[in-house]
Structure formats: C-alpha cells, structure tokens
Amino acid sequence: VESMAGARNMGGALLPLELIDRCVGSRIWIILKGDKEFVGTLRGFDDYVNMVLEDVTEYEVNPEGGYRVTKLEQILLNGNNVCMLVPGGDGPVSEVEAA
C-alpha cells in the first residue's frame, strides 16, 4: 500500500504529507491553535501530522503582547493542534526582537 506522503494527485501537484516529508531534517516553523509557536528541526511525522522536533524554540504569547521564549531539546507535537507549517521558517523572530 502506497503511503499518502508518496502519492500524487492527478494534476501532479504536491500533496500536504509529501511537502512535510520533504521537510524532514530541515528547520520548520509550526504555529499551533492558541498562543504557541515552535521552530525546530523536523525529525519525523505520521499520517496524523504528529511531529517530532529537535533543537526547538517555543514562543508563547504573553498577556503584555510579547513572547515568552523557551529552548527545548526535543518535543512531540500533537497534529490535532497544528494550524500552519512554514518550511524553513524562523518563527516570530522579528516580532520578538521588536518587543
């Protein structure tokens, strides 16, 4: 059975899981539902877009409008909470520097 990550639709366009598969080993910016964002190296994912990240920076919006920044060695993100993925993204760096 061919996995969704390896499948292509009839028009030859890139499918979402195939795009994520191409990001394995690269830096990725992940925006979650709510007030958290993560930037890290994508090590793996599954069909539910649960992801393992290494060398992670967590950005959490605080009530004053800035970000609380936390460094993490490795995390597992639940795919149900993912709102947007930005391959090669650096996160809200410019906003953090301006705050």
Q: Can you give the CATH number for the domain in which 76 is found? A: 2.30.30.100
Q: Is residue 12 part of a domain?
A: no
Cβ atoms within 10 Å, residue 82 = 19
44 within some domain? yes
Please report which confidence band the pLDDT of residue 11 belongs to, taking 50, 70 and 90 as the band edges. Answer: low
Domain contains 69: yes
pLDDT at 64: 86
Q: What mean pLDDT do residues 56-74 have?
A: 93
Examine residue 58 and state whether it is found in any structural domain, yes or no.
yes
pLDDT of the residue at 65:
82
Whole-angstrom CA distances from 98 to 26, 61, 62, 92 are 26, 14, 15, 10
The answer to whether residue 98 is domain-embedded is no
Domain extent, residue 64, equals 25-89
**CA 74 – CA 95 distance, rounded (Å):** 24
Query: What is the H or E stretch that residue 67 is in?
Result: strand 67-77
Number of separate domains in the chain: 1
In this structure, is residue 99 part of a structural domain? no
Within a domain: residue 19? no
Compute the mean pLDDT over every residue in the chain, rounded to the nearest whole number: 86
